[in-house]
Amino acid sequence: MDLTEFGAGAQYIAGRQSRGSGEPFQVVNPADGSVVEQVTLASTDQVDAAVAAARAALPGWAGTTPGARSEALTRLTAVLTDAAADLAQVETAQTGKPVKLATEFDVPGTIDNTAFFAGAARNLEGKAAGEYSGDHTSYVRREPVGVVGSISPWNYPLQMAAWKILPAIAAGNTIVLKPAELTPLTSLMFARACTLAGIPDGVVNVVTGAGRTAGEHLVSHPDVAMVSFTGSTPVGRRVAELATATVKRTHLELGGKAPFVVFDDADLDAAVHGAVAASLINGGQDCTAATRAYVQRPLYEAFVAGVAELYGAIRLGDPRDPRTDLGPLVSHVHRDRVAGFVERARSYATVVTGGSAPEKGHDGTDLTRGAYYLPTLVTGAAQDSEIVQGEVFGPVLVVLPFDSDDEGLRLANDTPYGLAASAWTSNVHRSLRATREIAAGCVWVNDHIPIISEMPHGGYKSSGYGKDMSQYSLDEYTQVKHVMFDTTAVARKDWHRTVFGDR
């Protein structure tokens, strides 16, 4: 099976790839507008078929031992490792992200996640069995939730597919994944890799369709027991609303507006380099990317100057070129949305550098056909302005000064989001206070963006709830059942007298 062959279509149901029966759709390379693949989207009937396949596979997969599921995921790790180069090339083609990011971050991160869950599958923890009442032995079982319906975003198609699929199937569930129709190809490759690894047909299914048809039908489906969604907060609210109608378990990883707090004792060079990397990763199309830098006033001007200098040296170009630092955004529509934020900000703030679409790449190549946007630095914006509060989701960093520590932490928390943040300081007491008081699911100290499979990822406030990655994510995908045995063999128990009769 060639993982890069998509001629059979963009649906993967019960171990077979097929064409959709809905509308035709083009997967476009945003670097030059070329068509990567012509696909047809899923109809609601195909969503029904995928859910039926997952439901049929559930008893067998749920009844498989943790050791057998672990062995299957170990085999999957090997299949993905062998396909690493192809995965990186396809990911770059459909998203426009630089191939060095796909090769050094997206693909190895996905492989590491797979290896982690191969081990985690054998570690479904519960409270120790014991006689907690004195007359009964109690223990806890962890059981699969059932069929999981997951929706993944376009910014990290491969990694987000893995984040949805791996903990679900490691815990014994089956899954129907709806990837973003803009970027479905590596999700399909991942599903086909599962088949090559010997995971039974129907355990992992992929339906490529539009959100308002295939996505909403999947979320509302009566045979789907749990919904996991990664995407914007407004769409997350809609997902939660639909899931509530059938009392589904929900897991939501939503938007972010990560603060980057630089105290006056920070290593300035480290903070500047960290801010550039953390604001431009994946073209800034990352819900944990640094978007709001709050810099204590003694370092403010030097920080702005340092970031502006490094932004000016960023190499934009063909994402297939290993020298390229920044590729295009995912589409022209999204590029124009990002540009709109910046253009509106000109009326109340200063665009220090960037703020336009480039014509030439670092090597002189023509970029006008692609969805490129220059790294953009903004200063002078008010805390309540759109550019500070809104989720831009592009290569745009806003820098604001602060005076006291109290003010800096207050500004960092002044957002409806709470996914990630960072604090930059050489003072242990400042770092401990920042990690304690910043309301976010992850707070880095003197770095911003690294993730690891062993640690959880998930947000506070309007950034959603539930965890991806780590042992904690298995909690999302299991039901906890209390089992209690009488140990006395007494027919007429004393507690019965609280209901009827006399002692």
- Neighbour-count burial for 76-108, b at 16+ CB within 10 Å, e otherwise: bbebbeebeeebbbbbbbbbbbbbbbbbebbbe
Asked if 417 contacts 461 with a C-beta cutoff of 8 angstroms, the reply is yes
Rg value, the chain, Cα: 25
**Which residues neighbour 201 within 8 Å (Cβ) at sequence distance 6 or greater?**
14, 15, 16, 53, 57, 195
- Tokens 């569930």 belong to residue: 173
Per-residue pLDDT of the chain (503 residues; tens, 9 = 90+): 678 788 778 999 999 999 988 899 999 999 999 999 999 999 999 999 999 999 999 999 999 999 999 999 999 999 999 999 999 999 999 999 999 999 999 999 999 999 999 999 998 777 889 999 999 999 999 999 999 999 999 999 999 999 999 999 999 999 999 999 999 999 999 999 999 999 999 999 999 999 999 999 999 999 999 999 999 999 999 999 999 999 999 999 999 999 999 999 999 999 999 999 999 999 999 999 999 999 999 999 999 999 999 999 999 999 999 999 999 999 999 999 999 999 999 999 999 999 999 999 999 999 999 999 999 999 999 999 999 999 999 999 999 999 999 999 999 999 999 999 999 999 999 999 999 999 999 999 999 999 999 999 999 999 999 999 999 999 999 999 999 999 999 999 999 999 999 98
Told to judge if 125 belongs to the known catalytic residues of this protein, a careful annotator would answer no
Query: Across 404-450, where does the E strand assignment appear?
Result: 417-418, 420-424, 442-445
pTM over 0.85: yes
Asked if 500 contacts 491 with a C-beta cutoff of 8 angstroms, the reply is no
pLDDT at position 503 is 84
Our CA angle for 213, 216, 221, nearest 5°, is: 115
Q: Determine the residue type at 51.
A: V
- Picking from 230, 170, 226, the residue whose alpha carbon sits closest to that of residue 203 is 170
Catalytic-labelled residue, pool 37, 287, 391, 476: 287
Asked if 341 contacts 113 with a C-beta cutoff of 8 angstroms, the reply is no
Q: Determine the residue type at 101.
A: L
Asked if 377 contacts 352 with a C-beta cutoff of 8 angstroms, the reply is yes
Helix (H, G, I), strand (E, B) or coil at 48: helix
pLDDT at position 274 is 98
Helix (H, G, I), strand (E, B) or coil at 16: strand
Beta bridge partners of 39: 25
Catalytic-labelled residue, pool 253, 391, 442, 476: 253
Helix (H, G, I), strand (E, B) or coil at 487: coil
Residue 315's alpha-carbon distances to 30, 88, 204, 251, 362, in angstroms, are: 17, 20, 39, 37, 5
Element (H, E) at 301: helix 297-312
Question: How far apart (Å, rounded) are the C-alpha atoms in residues 73 and 67?
Answer: 10
DSSP labels, 374-404: --EEEES--TTSHHHHS---SSEEEEEEE-S
Residue 17's alpha-carbon distances to 14, 43, 45, 46, 185, in angstroms, are: 8, 15, 15, 12, 12
pLDDT at position 2 is 72
372 token code pair: 């490129």
Told to judge if 194 belongs to the known catalytic residues of this protein, a careful annotator would answer no
Element (H, E) at 23: none
- Picking from 226, 223, 62, the residue whose alpha carbon sits closest to that of residue 141 is 62
pLDDT at position 79 is 98
Question: How far apart (Å, rounded) are the C-alpha atoms in residues 168 and 438?
Answer: 30
348 token code pair: 């109340």
Element (H, E) at 198: none
